[in-house]
Amino acid sequence: MVQAGPARFCGRSDWQATGDDAEAQDGAGHFCTFSGRGGFEFFTPAGLVMAGMEFDRAELARLATPEEQALLERIGQVATLHRAPEGALATLRDFMRGAFEMLAAQPRLLGNPAMRSMLRQAAQSNALELLVGAAALPPDAGQRPRLLVEQARAIVDRDPETPVTVATLCAELGTSRRTLQAAFQQVLGLAPAAYLRATRLAGARRALRQAPSVTEAAAQWGFWHFGHFAQDYRRMYGELPSQTWRRLHPGAGGAAH
């Protein structure tokens, strides 16, 4: 990874790489996992270049012991930034760099099924060592805020067509507004009310497909000040809700409101 400046991945902003993703002085460093289960937030500086590896979960599990399989399952629940065990990230990087250099010099090797199989197994083995080593490390101090945000988002996703309020989240999570605010600021970089407003705007945008007017779509999602709704909608989607409505209902006559 090459980047100039700090980045924030799923709420973690305590990492900053320069050059070839230089490792920390303790030889550890960080890496990201994308599980395919749900989304993720990734805010980066300009000029980011990122390389990744994709593995089949079942194939990795077959190479792991039962204890390692449990660690893989835990690490694969959500997209996360992980601390790498000392030296493990450098080992994987050196392996991949060497493999690419060899294949660049001898591309015919990829035409040999046995060679491809050996390369695949070696890559899986190196990745498995990195993943289970990271999962076995003690949890970091930011785990609680991330868990709280994940639980809040699960409540929102439970019924995606029903607006949720901050008060509802606090009541269901058994936490205070201040704690929830701090968790969202740390993990997502925005207040829970701003996050919920974004989900409501997305809901209103979906509602515009069937709603007989923009006003009804806005009210359905709890927007009772039409001027503020139109401004927020344009800020998020680059057009007014009335423009969206007319585009979705080209044959409708009269005003969109």
- Which residues are CB-contacts of 85 (< 8 A; sequence separation ≥ 6)? 28, 130, 133, 134, 136, 137
Helix (H, G, I), strand (E, B) or coil at 80: strand
- pLDDT, tens digit (0-9, with 9 covering 90-100), for 92-119: 888 888 999 999 999 888 898 888 888 9
**Domains plus CATH for the chain?**
8-136 (no CATH), 143-248 (1.10.10.60)
Cβ proximity of 160 and 196 under 8 Å:
no
Of the two residues 140 and 239, the one the predictor is more confident about is 239
- pLDDT, tens digit (0-9, with 9 covering 90-100), for 109-157: 889 888 888 898 888 888 888 888 887 776 555 568 888 998 998 999 8
- pLDDT, tens digit (0-9, with 9 covering 90-100), for 187-230: 888 899 999 999 999 999 999 998 889 999 999 888 888 889 99
The tally of CA atoms less than 13 A away on the side-chain side of residue 233 is 27
Query: For position 24, what pLDDT does the model report?
Result: 38
Q: How many CB atoms lie within 10 A of CB 136?
A: 13
* Segments in 137-191 forming alpha helices (H): 143-158, 166-173, 177-187
pLDDT confidence bin for 2, thresholds 50/70/90 = very low
Cβ proximity of 208 and 241 under 8 Å:
yes
Flag whether pLDDT at 25 surpasses 50. Answer: no
Give backbone dihedrals phi and psi of 24, rounded to 5 degrees, phi first. -65, 165
pLDDT confidence bin for 239, thresholds 50/70/90 = very high
Burial class (CB in 10 A: 0-12, 13-18, 19+), 142: middle
Query: For position 41, what pLDDT does the model report?
Result: 66
Flag whether pLDDT at 18 surpasses 80. Answer: no
Rounded-to-integer distance, Cα 171 and Cα 149, Å: 14
